[in-house]
Amino acid sequence: MKKKTKLAIIICDRYKSCAGGKCFRAMHNREGAFDIYDKDEDIELVGYTSCGGCPGGNIEYAPEEMKNNGAEVIHLATGFVVGFPPCPYIEDFKKFIPEKYGMKVVVGTHPIPEKYRITHEKLGTWNDKKWEQLTGPTMTDEKTRLAYD
C-alpha cells in the first residue's frame, strides 16, 4: 500500500486572493518544499487558508480544523518569505503549531521565483543565517526558479 500524507497550506494574508496555482503545481510536481515527498507517495491537500493577517490571528485556530481534516503537515506558503517585508512572525508560527497541535511545519511551498530572489539579494533581506534556513527548501535551481517567475 502506498504511503499517503495529508497536508494543508497556510498563506500570508496579503496574498489572500491567491488561487494557489504555483503551490498546487509545485505540489503536483514535487518541486520546492514539496520535494520532501516521494513521487510515488500520495499527498492530499485537506486545507488551504490565510494566516488571517498580522500578527497571524488565524494561526491559533486554522490548524485545529486542518488537523480534524486529517492534516499531518502544514506548509507555510512561500509568500511568507518572498513578500516584502518577509513575515516577521514566521518563527513564532513554526514554534506554535507543533506545540499546540503536534503537527509538523514546513516553511515553503512552490520554488522561489527568480525575480523575488534577485530583489531580496539586492536588498540584502536574506543575508542573515536565519533566512538561509527559511528559504532553503524553496530556493531550488535557477531554471526552476525562472519557471515560477
In order of 3, 96, 138, 149, the CA distances from 133 in angstroms are 27, 18, 10, 22
Q: Rounded CA gap, 20 and 15, in Å?
A: 10
Whole-number pLDDT of residue 40: 87
Contact by Cβ (8 Å): 74, 11: no
- DSSP state for residue 85 in the 8-state scheme: S
This prediction has a pTM of 0.95
Whole-number pLDDT of residue 1: 65
Whole-number pLDDT of residue 37: 96
Whole-number pLDDT of residue 21: 96
Strands in 73-76's sheet, in edge-to-edge order, are 42-50, 4-11, 73-76, 104-107
Domains observed in the chain = 4-147 (3.40.50)
In order along its 149 residues, the chain shows pLDDT tens digits of 678 999 999 999 999 999 999 999 999 999 999 999 998 899 999 999 999 999 999 999 999 999 999 999 999 999 999 999 999 999 999 999 999 999 999 999 999 999 999 999 999 999 999 999 999 999 999 999 999 99
